């Protein structure tokens, strides 16, 4: 069995607890304009981005970092939307005896979400926006699917990760209500960055920017903190 990836990043510090190995799976069913990994959106191999890797090869790469996992780390499957290939990954998930995290937008079928929840020690779940029309037009996703999937995951494994954009700011009240209803382990918010600009040039895609100020980010953080105490601003 093989899966399609774009990269394996060793020594990752932002993708879950401890020092981690992050596997970027190729293919996503959303089209977030600010995506930091635009080369992971198309499931096709394009412009030199993407390769097939067998589960045995992937296991070897992941376990090269095993000594670092004593920090509480492990492997994080990111992307792209890692849940789209989770059935192909499952034989490896079964035999990996390390901490497993999925970084997911949670716009996936219930069956795939349940598999992820079963194997995950940690789940990083993005909250990008909650307005149904914006979710449909800007992300290309069905917000009802995202919301119903929250009922199938163990919240004590969850970190909600929220990009601070005009869309999340517009939906602050709804996001606060959501985190009251689904209290996670912690919440991370982050400002869009331009680290992926070169990849957009290579892919000949338009690079998206917004002018969100630090004051707006702090205000957003403070409003979230009224709904849930453990909110952190992270930087990539
Ligand atoms: S869900 Fe993630 S990988 Fe997919 S387009 Fe959005 S930011 Fe990119």
CA distance 126 to 187: 10
Query: Does 206 have pLDDT greater than 90?
Result: yes
Cβ of 80 closer than 6 Å to ligand 1, yes or no, is: yes
What is residue 201's three-state secondary structure?
Answer: helix
- Atom of ligand 1 lying closest to residue 29 CA: 4
- Quote the pLDDT of residue 71: 87
Query: Does 157 have pLDDT greater than 90?
Result: yes
- Quote the pLDDT of residue 119: 98
- Quote the pLDDT of residue 128: 98
- Atom of ligand 1 lying closest to residue 80 CA: 3
Query: Does 40 have pLDDT greater than 90?
Result: yes
Cβ of 12 closer than 6 Å to ligand 1, yes or no, is: no
Cβ of 79 closer than 6 Å to ligand 1, yes or no, is: yes
What is residue 129's three-state secondary structure?
Answer: coil
Pocket test for ligand 1, best of 79, 134, 203 (most atoms within 8 A of CB): 79
Cβ of 35 closer than 6 Å to ligand 1, yes or no, is: yes
Query: Does 3 have pLDDT greater than 90?
Result: yes
- 103 confidence band (pLDDT: 50, 70, 90): very high
- Atom of ligand 1 lying closest to residue 78 CA: 3
Stretch 101-125: mean pLDDT, rounded?
98
Please give the domain boundaries of the chain with CATH numbers for all domains: 2-234 (3.20.20.70)
Stretch 141-149: mean pLDDT, rounded?
98
- Atom of ligand 1 lying closest to residue 107 CA: 1
- Is the peptide bond preceding residue 80 cis, with omega within 30 degrees of 0? yes
Q: Whose CA is nearest to atom 7 of ligand 1?
A: 35
Per the CB < 8 A criterion, the answer to whether 148 and 175 are in contact is no
Q: How far is CA 119 from the centre of its chain?
A: 16
Q: Whose CA is nearest to atom 2 of ligand 1?
A: 80
> What predicted TM-score, i.e. pTM, was given to this entire model?
0.97
Cβ of 124 closer than 6 Å to ligand 1, yes or no, is: no
Q: Give 20's strand partners.
A: 12, 74
What is the chain's mean pLDDT, rounded?
97
- 84 confidence band (pLDDT: 50, 70, 90): very high
Query: Does 236 have pLDDT greater than 90?
Result: no
Stretch 131-151: mean pLDDT, rounded?
98
pLDDT, tens digit, 9 for 90 and up, residues 19-30: 999 999 999 999
219 membership: H or E segment, kind and range: helix 214-227
Stretch 138-152: mean pLDDT, rounded?
98
Query: Does 179 have pLDDT greater than 90?
Result: yes
CA distance 58 to 56: 5
- CA 139–ligand 1 middle distance (angstroms): 9
């Amino acid at each position: 069995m093989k899966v399609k990836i774009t990269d394996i990043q060793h020594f990752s510090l932002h993708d879950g607890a401890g020092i981690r190995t992050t596997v970027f799976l190729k293919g996503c069913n959303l089209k977030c304009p600010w995506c930091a990994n635009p080369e992971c959106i198309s499931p096709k191999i394009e412009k030199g981005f993407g390769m097939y890797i067998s589960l045995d090869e992937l296991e070897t790469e992941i376990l090269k970092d095993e000594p670092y996992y004593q920090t509480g780390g492990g492997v994080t499957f990111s992307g792209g939307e890692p849940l789209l290939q989770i059935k192909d990954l499952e034989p490896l998930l079964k035999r990996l005896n390390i901490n497993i995290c999925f970084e997911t937008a949670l716009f996936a079928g219930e069956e795939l979400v349940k598999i992820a929840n079963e194997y995950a020690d940690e789940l990083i779940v993005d909250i990008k926006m909650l307005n149904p029309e914006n979710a449909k037009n800007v992300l290309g996703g069905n917000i009802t699917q995202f919301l119903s999937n929250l009922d199938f995951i163990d919240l004590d494994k969850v970190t909600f990760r929220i990009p601070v954009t005009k869309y999340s700011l517009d939906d602050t009240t709804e996001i606060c209500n959501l985190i009251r209803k689904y209290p996670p382990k912690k919440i991370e918010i982050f400002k869009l960055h331009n680290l992926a600009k070169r990849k957009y040039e290579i892919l000949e895609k338009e690079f998206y920017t917004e002018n969100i100020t630090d004051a707006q980010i702090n205000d957003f953080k403070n409003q979230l903190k009224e709904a849930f105490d453990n909110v952190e601003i992270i930087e990539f």
